[in-house]
A and B are shown apart, each in its own frame.
Chain A
Amino acid sequence: MNTMNSGISAEAENQDEPRAASVAEHKPEDTVIEEGKTVGKPFSDDPKFKLRNVEVFYDQARAIKNISLDIGRNEVIAFIGPSGCGKSTFLRCLNRMNDSIDICRVKGSLALDDHDIYDPKRDVVELRARVGMVFQKPNPFPKSIYDNVAYGPRIHGLANRKSELDDIVENSLRKAGLWEEAKDRLDATATGMSGGQQQRLCIARAIAVSPEVILMDEPCSALDPIATARVEELIAEMSESYTIVIVTHSMQQAARVSHRTAYFHLGHLVEVNETNKVFTSPQHELTESYITGRFG
């Protein structure tokens, strides 16, 4: 919510600034972005998500401007870009988390496995069971560790017996690399864990409903470097069985974990390409300015 609000204001500020037409000193901010034109490789042969001409409005403000992108099956794709560029907003379109914001409208066609995400007849519960999400700040429920992980399976009726539920909880915690630390205190309250443990618990909680896609909105921004490294390892392991979309402010993180990287700028999708290409030979001058640290 907060990131989005700041997104709107940052964008509005940028638009209000008169464009300096100085040729001698060409700033990256002055670059005119051609709407809907993305350089690099935005499309995929085996798409999990097919997103075409997506636009998102907050009231009148246009936060996402005509973005088309494919997200491949079992691919890890990283969204990078300056604050307020719309990457979180775009991410939240993928499991319709924007629905709870009254003033938010989404246009364009968004499909998961060729089924429209925004079909009014579509059951958002089923969508979110398939597309899990991990948030910026660890948000375990103030319940026990066990109940946190069992929350999703209980809602979706994934276990018929207590023993089945126990198995799901154990497996999810194992996959999240938390089992060894948590197995002796499953009944302890989750808010007593460290930040890194809490975030891995949130990942376990998301995995427990066996999603196909996991969206991660800056999952490591509240974690220390060691906890970050653990989460990154986890992402690498999970990429075998899940499609992962990760928003990050850390370019090193994007370089380490992702297959492809998408660069967002002021609501535009400027460049998408294989991660090593984006970081070694960016094709767009804005991407180059951003990754070389000239702004952001």
Chain B
Amino acid sequence: MQTANLLPLVLVLTLVAYGLAYMRSRAVAAPLGGIRNLKALPFYYAARAALWCAIPALIVLAVWSGFEGKVIQSIVIASLPQDTWPDSPGQASLILSQISNVAAGNLNPDFVPDHIAGAASLLETTESRSENFKAILVVLIAVLGATFAWTRVAPHINARKNVETTLRRIFFVCAALAVLTTAGIVFSVILETLRFFDRVPITEFLFSTSWSPQTALRADQVGSEGAFGVIPLFTGTLLISAIALLVAVPVGLLSAIYLSEYASKRMRSTIKPILELLAGIPTVVYGFFAALTVAPFIRDLAEMVGLEASSQSALAAGLVMGIMIVPFVSSLSDDVINAVPQNMRDGSLALGATQSETMKKVIFPAALPGIIGGILLAASRAIGETMIVVMAAGLAANLTANPLESVTTVTVQIATLLVGDQEFDSAKTLSAFALGMLLFIVTLLLNVVALKIVRKYREQYD
């Protein structure tokens, strides 16, 4: 039986176990004078039976499915005549794919050597036997588990404690999964980064000023040495992020002040969701808005005043990105401004301060750490943004501070390096991981600083 069919079967068994245990617990309780004489509610006996039924069965299923392939492969390989044993992993996978193709009927057995055809039929029988064993074992364990729990439905046994403990462990596993995933991602990026630094020295990566990741595919190719200096990418990132923040911070902050201090309740409840809608627009949409509307407009404007502007410019990307992160700044600032206790406002107003004086002298300073935290979060968002830059700022790694020229960013280079078919042993592809690592470190630092500031602010009024 296939794994896909086994899962619903286990589910059905679990439900049956739940129902049976529930009924049994009531039946056990009835002669004693009702469920109040049980140590736990019928639900807990039933839930425990369900857990006993499902969890061991699912664990066995997962382990079996996980190792099944490897075990069968080694059995099949071992069955081959000694002289045809593969001597490298590459050859082994070649032979195995041939065998499985024959087994699946894609390849006529008459066209392959006899030992391959034999191995193919062995593969087929082993696989079907494995499927059957697996199904029988899983169902058996499910039934055994449920039966065990069913026999332990008794008034003096406290099922509630077992269920609570099990649930706590399940929750822990879920939490651990998220952490492990993050750790896994970081770990794999670090590995690839180290491989990259085997090929390109870390000093060249960090301090060289030219970026041109094309490497020679063949030894006799000319003019493709590859240059991996990250500085132009980082200056491009910084330039665009700075422009974005120049737009987002004033607009976001002032709108937050308006919303939290001046706007009426109705106004606030209308404007705030609309403003937050900006954060929900896909960045691709911002991207073509930047590329098709803003960038040409800036070019025409620059030409009118006699400046030379590229049709893809850092300014266009930065402006649109700024609009995109306005809600980050405004929403977070609005929250922290609202978190400033009302009695601060009252204290200032009662001394005869106007609303704007109160804002400027009391509320803004009190909320400043939180506002800075919000701005830093917006900044890390800006640094990580890719799509707008791809479309509006270009791919050319220029080392420039002129916002009218086209620049590129770290994220854009990562995207272009990994798009399409790539060989994973060239410095070009591996450099993407080094860039990713660097970006990860930078945004991590920004986030840590932001969180620190926000936390410090929280303690102030508690």
| Cβ contacts under 8 Å, A155 to chain B | 351-353, 357, 361
Residue from the list B343, B353, B365 in contact with A139, Cβ < 8 A: B343
Q: Taking the complex as formed, is A246 at the interface, i.e. its CB lies under 8 A from any CB of chain B?
A: no
CB distance from A7 to the nearest CB of B (A): 16
Residues of B in contact (CB 8 Å), total 22
8 Å CB interface, B245-298 against A: 264-265
| Cβ contacts under 8 Å, A76 to chain B | none
CB distance from A144 to the nearest CB of B (A): 12
The answer to whether B352 and A141 have CB atoms under 8 Å apart is: no
| Cβ contacts under 8 Å, B343 to chain A | 135, 137, 139
| Cβ contacts under 8 Å, B366 to chain A | 141-142
8 Å CB interface, A73-124 against B: 95, 97, 100, 102, 124
Q: Taking the complex as formed, is B354 at the interface, i.e. its CB lies under 8 A from any CB of chain A?
A: yes
The answer to whether B345 and A135 have CB atoms under 8 Å apart is: no
The answer to whether A139 and B344 have CB atoms under 8 Å apart is: yes
CB distance from B346 to the nearest CB of A (A): 6
| Cβ contacts under 8 Å, A127 to chain B | 352
Q: Taking the complex as formed, is B342 at the interface, i.e. its CB lies under 8 A from any CB of chain A?
A: yes
The answer to whether B350 and A142 have CB atoms under 8 Å apart is: no
The answer to whether B352 and A125 have CB atoms under 8 Å apart is: yes
The answer to whether B344 and A126 have CB atoms under 8 Å apart is: no
Residue from the list B264, B265, B350, B354 in contact with A97, Cβ < 8 A: B350
Q: Taking the complex as formed, is B203 at the interface, i.e. its CB lies under 8 A from any CB of chain A?
A: no
Residue from the list B265, B344, B349, B357 in contact with A141, Cβ < 8 A: B344
| Cβ contacts under 8 Å, A95 to chain B | 350
Q: Taking the complex as formed, is B72 at the interface, i.e. its CB lies under 8 A from any CB of chain A?
A: no
| Contact A126-B352, Cβ < 8 Å, known A100-B345, A102-B264 | yes
Q: How would residues 328 to 364 of chain B score, 1 for a CB under 8 Å from any chain A CB and 0 otherwise? A: 0000000000000111111111111110010001100
8 Å CB interface, A182-196 against B: 191
The answer to whether A139 and B341 have CB atoms under 8 Å apart is: yes
Nearest A residue to B355, CB-CB: A100
Report whether over half of chain B's contact residues are helix, strand or loop; otherwise say mixed. helix
Q: Taking the complex as formed, is A231 at the interface, i.e. its CB lies under 8 A from any CB of chain B?
A: no
| Contact A132-B348, Cβ < 8 Å, known A139-B341, A141-B362 | no
Q: Taking the complex as formed, is B106 at the interface, i.e. its CB lies under 8 A from any CB of chain A?
A: no
Within the assembled complex, what's the spacing in Å between the Cα atoms of A100 and B350?
11
The answer to whether A129 and B342 have CB atoms under 8 Å apart is: no
Within the assembled complex, what's the spacing in Å between the Cα atoms of A133 and B353?
13
CB distance from A113 to the nearest CB of B (A): 17
Q: Taking the complex as formed, is A202 at the interface, i.e. its CB lies under 8 A from any CB of chain B?
A: yes
Q: Taking the complex as formed, is A277 at the interface, i.e. its CB lies under 8 A from any CB of chain B?
A: no
CB distance from B401 to the nearest CB of A (A): 39
Within the assembled complex, what's the spacing in Å between the Cα atoms of A128 and B353?
8
Within the assembled complex, what's the spacing in Å between the Cα atoms of A4 and B351?
21
CB distance from B35 to the nearest CB of A (A): 39
| Cβ contacts under 8 Å, B361 to chain A | 151, 155
Q: Taking the complex as formed, is B460 at the interface, i.e. its CB lies under 8 A from any CB of chain A?
A: yes
Nearest A residue to B361, CB-CB: A151
The answer to whether A132 and B341 have CB atoms under 8 Å apart is: no
Q: Taking the complex as formed, is A205 at the interface, i.e. its CB lies under 8 A from any CB of chain B?
A: yes
Within the assembled complex, what's the spacing in Å between the Cα atoms of A179 and B345?
26
| Cβ contacts under 8 Å, A129 to chain B | 351-352
Within the assembled complex, what's the spacing in Å between the Cα atoms of A102 and B366?
24
Within the assembled complex, what's the spacing in Å between the Cα atoms of A102 and B267?
13
Give the top 8 A-B pairs by smallest Cβ distance, nearest first: A133-B350, A139-B343, A128-B352, A129-B352, A152-B351, A139-B347, A125-B352, A155-B353
Q: Can you name 13 extra interface pairs (CB under 8 A) apart from A135-B346, A139-B343?
A: A100-B349, A102-B264, A125-B354, A128-B351, A129-B351, A132-B351, A135-B347, A139-B344, A139-B347, A141-B348, A142-B365, A155-B353, A155-B357
10 contacts between A and B (CB under 8 A): A125-B353, A129-B352, A133-B350, A135-B343, A137-B343, A140-B347, A142-B366, A152-B352, A152-B353, A155-B353
